Amino acid sequence: MILNTELEHKGNIFPSKIISYEKNLNVLSFKTANGVVLQVTVRRDSVLRFRYTTTGIFENDFSYAITKYASRGYNFLEVTENKANYIITTTKLICHVSKSDLRVSLYDAKDKALICEDELGFHWEESYEFGGDVVKMSKTAQPGESYYGLGDKPVDNNLKGKRFENWVTDSYAYGRDTDPIYKAIPFYTALHNKKAYGIFFDNTFRSFFDFCHERRNITSFWAHGGEMNYYFIYGPEMTEVVANYTDLTGKPHALPPLWALGYHQCKWSYYPESNVKEITAKFRELEIPCDAIYLDIDYMEGFRCFTWSKEYFPDPKRMVKELADDGFKTIVIIDPGIKIDMDYSVFKEGLDKDYFCKRADGPYMKGKVWPGECYFPDFTNPEVREWWSNLFKELIEDIGVKGVWNDMNEPAVMDVPGKTFPNDVRHDYEGNPCSHRKAHNVYGMQMARATYQGLKKFCYPKRPFVITRAAYSGTQRYTSSWTGDNVATWDHLNIANLQAQRMAMSGYSFVGSDIGGFAEQPNGELYARWIQLGIFHPFCRTHSSGDHGNQEPWAFGDTITSVVKKFIELRYQLLPYLYTAFWRYAEEGIPILKSLVLYDQDDPQTHYRNDEFMFGEKILVCPINGPNQKGRRMYIPRGLWYNFWTDDVVIGGQELWVDADLDSMPIFVKDGSIIPKYPIQQYVGEKTIDELLLDVYYKLGKEESEVYEDATDGYDYIKGRYSLRTFKLHGKKNELIIQQHKSGKFFTTYKTFKLSLHGLPFKISKVQIDNVEIQFKDIKLNGDNTLVLTKEFTELHIMA
């Protein structure tokens, strides 16, 4: 951990004893004899912030990650002291701060169990080269402790035994264990003795996490500058930790338009226009649902952002309209590098307004990307972001583009060491000028934010859709994301699965991979298996570099085409279910995907599982992740589950073999669930939904399900024009009761539900709706346990 080896005499320095203590409402300050100040802020009963300075003075308190909408407030706060410690107590936590050395220990306020304790605690090295400190924290790993999170790391779910770096990096064809890659999300959740807590190290400098790698019983994190500034988030449930972290760094500012949860097709590149049209026409011809088509860099004039190639796309407005008439949203790529070209208006304007990043001694930051030599806007300057957002006017308002794809925003620079800006580049950082060392990890985030602001403005009254490659904590507020340039291999299918789960437990749910792999070419089987996984990722897009062949659903022959079609259709059927999960995520920060450990942390079997995950609250999925498989073994978490394809009920808490030929995959539904489905549509909005299918899975006992709907786009839902149905299912031996509670002012287009009853253990002889017995002809009992009834019921009894 010693970094500045030549200056080792300035090595580890430690706080000495506390000489004074101050309390200012919820901010407690402890000062040591050698000038260190620890500031503990009680943000919530379960969220404490720890901030240290070695100079007695704190930096301006500014963070790109923390949202102003974060919840604050606590029920109880008391500070007492004994001989050895100051003791901070809230309703959830007890925090000891040692008087002799400033070390911190945290306990559960209810049962007094130790949750997390400093080993060496805070310490630092002075940085001669850059000034300031290398700030460090080390904690004692608790017995049996496991670690999860950290964004897009392409490794197994449980991070124990590994070390990681956070420095967003363009990582073409990365692989398992490549580190760092595109994102910096310095947040992890730890779990031991059935209790989970999280640590968010809000420091944008190059940072590191070590989970019992360097020393077996020690977890540590450190950064090459800035402050030791971290949030401690107590659960004890992992989902609470993730939800609280997401609350702190922000939930998506709006729901995505429903079409953005449809299937997207992309390639580097579809051009000219005739090629784009061929692709979209083929989707409609084969009746494979698709909502979005992407234009990669070749749509531009010499890769100049905000221009169109006259040769390939002579009339973009007409084309975009024709595509829209056929149900396709057009999404275009926009990179940060602005080509140096005095005849190019965006460049000229950026230069005139002094919006490009500069080196320490004054020259512009010049770097090569797709267009050749470029300058780069300083997105950490709010004025630059405002300018950038206005550049989207023509694309969005006039031409009708519906989404923007931000790429290369690490920022990536070609043919240079480190593949990015040098350290000395200057940034505004919201009026806190700094070098690239501090701004690097947020550069892409601020670009995506500026893009989002533009789309929000010019799409209005519709909702924006933006996707970014680089991200820091909090980027989930503005945009979706994908996992970058992966490879068409089976291991990458596994990596995609891990990354989507890991991003979800890092507060970032709207994520997917390049289905089939970006680099190289999958065979049909790999592509089909990857589609099966991909339809269960919140963002679902096929993308490929195209240099090894085609990667459309029909590119691998008829058998594969029909498998791919079947699964994309399933995605569209499940849209109301996914949209409901998204709404839960946007409301409460509950991740859309849950690794098994998040689903059932008390079951130690889940702590090292990688493949299986929950899609929403009710559906368990496990991809087939190798060639020539007719099924696989998988762990079924505790409880009873219905095989989605056969309705066979399995008992969880064990590993089982599950059949899954190429046209199938392991999918299970939790007993008692009610799963809403829409009819298959070629694109969102193609059909008026005139009946909502509810798949009801009988359970002996009780279970709750919900269905959220709104106008699928626009902001009326924020004013209460949504429809939330909560179903309480209660299954008895001879009876199934479903109660419905409806809230919100949105009227769904359908008038009826079609209930499909799965696993009903009795023959129906009587049905009652709201205390009135209903004749079978009125409710259309179909003999196959499906019944059609009014959507307005409050209580339904189905009796033997």
CB of 327 closer than 8 Å to CB of 681: no
Q: At closest approach, how far in Å is the CB of 410 from ligand GLC?
A: 10
- Go through 126-153 and write b for each residue having 16 or more CB atoms within 10 A of its CB, e for each that does not: ebeebebbbbbbbbbbbeebbbbbbbbb
Nearer to ligand GLC by Cβ, of 166 and 269: the residue is 269
| Nearest Cα to Cα of residue 230 among 432, 529, 485, 473 | 473
The residue among 599, 588, 582 whose CA lies nearest residue 196 is 599
Q: Which is nearer to ligand GLC, 47 or 408 (CB)?
A: 408
Least distance (Å) between residue 571 CB and ligand GLC:
21
31 CB-near residues (< 8 Å, 6+ apart): 18, 19, 20, 21, 22, 37, 56
| 413: number of Cβ within 10 Å | 22
Contact 475, 447 (CB under 8 A): no
227: Cβ contacts below 8 Å, ≥ 6 apart: 51, 52, 53, 58, 59, 135, 203
State the first-to-last Cα distance of the chain, in angstroms, to the nearest integer. Answer: 69
Cross-strand pairs, 138: 121, 220
CA distance 378 to 374: 13
- Our CB check for ligand GLC shows the closer of 126 and 298 to be 298
Q: In the complex with ligand GLC, which residue's Cβ is closer, 106 or 519? A: 519
Smallest gap from Cβ 297 to ligand GLC, in A, equals 4
- The residue (of 481 and 606) whose beta carbon lies closer to ligand GLC is 481
- Dist. CA 92–CA 85, nearest whole Å: 19
| C-beta closer to ligand GLC: residue 443 or 582 | 443
Q: Catalog residues that contact ligand GLC under the rule CB under 6 A.
A: 268, 296-297, 333, 407, 469, 484-485, 543
Shortest Å, Cβ 513 to ligand GLC: 11
Q: Which two tokens stand for residue 337?
A: 């590098």
Q: Which residue has the tokens 């409710």?
A: 779
**Least distance (Å) between residue 407 CB and ligand GLC:** 5
Cβ count near 248 (within 10 Å): 29
For the bound state, the minimum distance from the C-beta of residue 172 to ligand GLC, rounded and expressed in Å, comes to 6
Q: How far is the CB of 552 from ligand GLC (least distance, A)?
A: 15
Q: How many residues does this entry show for the chain?
A: 800
Q: Measured at CB, which residue is nearest to ligand GLC?
A: 268
Nearer to ligand GLC, 294 or 355 (CB): 294
Return the number of the residue (45 or 514) whose C-beta is nearest ligand GLC.
514
Rounded CA Rg of the chain: 27
Query: What phi, psi does 502 have (nearest 5°)?
Result: -65, -40
Q: CB of 376 within 8 A of CB of 369? A: no
Structure tokens at 645: 């394809």
Q: In a 3-state reduction of DSSP, which class is residue 368?
A: strand
Helix or strand holding residue 245 (H, E): helix 238-249
Where in the sequence numbering do the catalytic residues fall?
Answer: 407, 410, 485
- 93/95 Cα distance (integer angstroms): 6
CB of 569 to ligand GLC, least distance (A): 26
CA 478 to chain centroid, in Å, comes to 11
